Amino acid sequence: MRITAQAKAETLERLLEVAKRRLRRASDFATREIAREAGVAHGTLFNYFPTKEALARAVCERELGAAAESFTSARRANAGLEEELFALIMAGLRRLAPFRAALGDLFREGPAALVEPARQLIAEHRGETAAGSVALHIFGSLYLGLLSFWSADASPKQEETLAVLDRSLGMFVASLEDPS
């Protein structure tokens, strides 16, 4: 029996839903359990996601995609690039907050769901040339660094993350202004 594209999409959706719920506690995030709860064979899960980490990343990408959307619909007029990038990233962290502890070193590169909207912002504020691959690579690294910092941030209300984000974005945006 051939699996229709629709059935495939539905399975994917179920897997992501279950995985999202279980990502809240590291001990709950077991592929066998996730597959069972989503009603698919354990092996089938790996047709969709080659590794457990890939599944977790997909959950996060989706959350970040939603965050980027809500950011876009609530942009403040006259805001500067730094302020906008800050708001974009914070919208993402808010969606990821339930899984904060699990995120430490989940990502290898900046999540596309954030890097793309960031690219658009940079292009909009500083022109297309400023939004080149080097800048995006730096942005991605900055984001990964932040994520791992945030994941382990023990300061009250993770206020240290805010300070780190503020300063690193300041540096990042300054580097866009002066390419030398």
- Summarize as ranges the residues that interact with another protein (CB under 8 A): 76, 79-80, 82-84, 86-87, 90, 155, 157, 159-160, 162-164, 166-167, 170-171, 173-174, 177-178
Instruction: Supply the minimum distance, in Å, between the C-beta of residue 69 and another protein.
Output: 17
Q: Using the minimum distance from each CB to another protein, give the nearer residue, 116 or 153.
A: 153
- Residue of 108, 101, 16, 30 lying closest to 60 (CA atoms): 16
At 139, list the tokens. 């942005």
Q: Using the minimum distance from each CB to another protein, give the nearer residue, 26 or 152.
A: 152
Number of neighbours of residue 108 by Cβ within 10 angstroms: 9
Instruction: Supply the minimum distance, in Å, between the C-beta of residue 133 and another protein.
Output: 22
Instruction: Supply the minimum distance, in Å, between the C-beta of residue 134 and another protein.
Output: 17
Q: Using the minimum distance from each CB to another protein, give the nearer residue, 50 or 80.
A: 80
Instruction: Supply the minimum distance, in Å, between the C-beta of residue 78 and another protein.
Output: 9
Q: What is the 3-state secondary structure (H, E, C) of 25-90?
A: CHHHCCHHHHHHHHCCCHHHHHHHCCCHHHHHHHHHHHHHHHHHHHHHHCCCCCCCHHHHHHHHHH
- Residue of 163, 162, 57, 143 lying closest to 102 (CA atoms): 57
Q: Using the minimum distance from each CB to another protein, give the nearer residue, 12 or 87.
A: 87
